[in-house]
Structure 1
Amino acid sequence: MNRQFTITIFSENHSGLLNRITIIFTRRKMNIESITTAKSEIPGIHRYNIVVEATQDQVEKVVGQIDKQVEVIRAYLSQDDEIIHREVALYKVLNRPGAREKLEKVVDSHGAKIIRDEKDYFAVELCSREGEIDILLKDLQPFGVCEFARSGRVAVTKAMDHMNDYLLALEDECSC
């Protein structure tokens, strides 16, 4: 049975690695629902969060293949109940006469905030889970959403893994 998994990868920052990782998914005909990558807390190390819907067996095989990539330091998978995850969403909403007060009520009820008030539009920001982002998008439609962007999932494990201790130890080994 397909479930949602988050694959977290720590790697060196080398060109072509992201392409090789996505090819692993393509070969298995597995769609990536979301992908984020950025510098980690350790200099020279990047962190990827990849969300997929698949069976546990399929995802374990993919993680095994990713782990074999030379530049990959560690890859592992998590289920939603094992991680803390969020997305950031930006909504550009038309600035119509008399709409601000109603818009503020909708925005406040979702824990979002208006981050820019321009002559033609409002920019709204929400940091939350996927479902809440989708609900706010639906609730903003009557105001006229003219642009919408979301970050994709960022996540950390609930367990105290001390991943940065592991990465620093590896860095010390390599610099000897």
Structure 2
Amino acid sequence: MHTVKRWFSHSLPAQALVLFVLGLGFGAVFRRDDHPALWAVQSLLYTAVIIGVVAYQRRRTSRATGARPGTVDDLSRRIRHREVPEDPEERALMGRLVEDQLGKMERGSRWLPYWLGLMGLIAVGMLVLGATTGSLAFPVVFAVGVIAFCCGVLWMHKRTMGLLHHMRSALRDRV
């Protein structure tokens, strides 16, 4: 299982294949009346956009750290497991990766309250629309989903920031 996970995290074609199949499945489930060729075209389009964004992010991170994308993936896994490398060169790469990720997270932190507030306004708007039309089932489920999603985003943000700060201090202590 470890080799499959590693292969999947390093291989953009494998990720593209899974995204395409998932998109095709969602098209089949939610767009039953449409032609199957339309499902395939939409799934291909969504897959191309997502893989393009992922490839751009991987290349950007590789340039920032000075390492290959596979090495960046391995270092990210070691960061998640709080493993500090013994090799000084790997430590330097990991330090650059941690600083790059912390910079991205801190820049994103400025806009996080606004995005979460906007999502809350959308949920409240859905509840108001549901109350005025008399159908509250979907708006309540939607509002609960939005609240759960926002709580998950906040939890993940706090957890990731704590992990990155821990790794920054662990890397500085080892130098």
TM-score, L = length of structure 1: 0.26
Q: Which has the larger radius of gyration?
A: 2
TM-score, L = length of structure 2: 0.26
**If each structure's helix is expressed as a fraction of its own residues, which one has the higher value?**
2
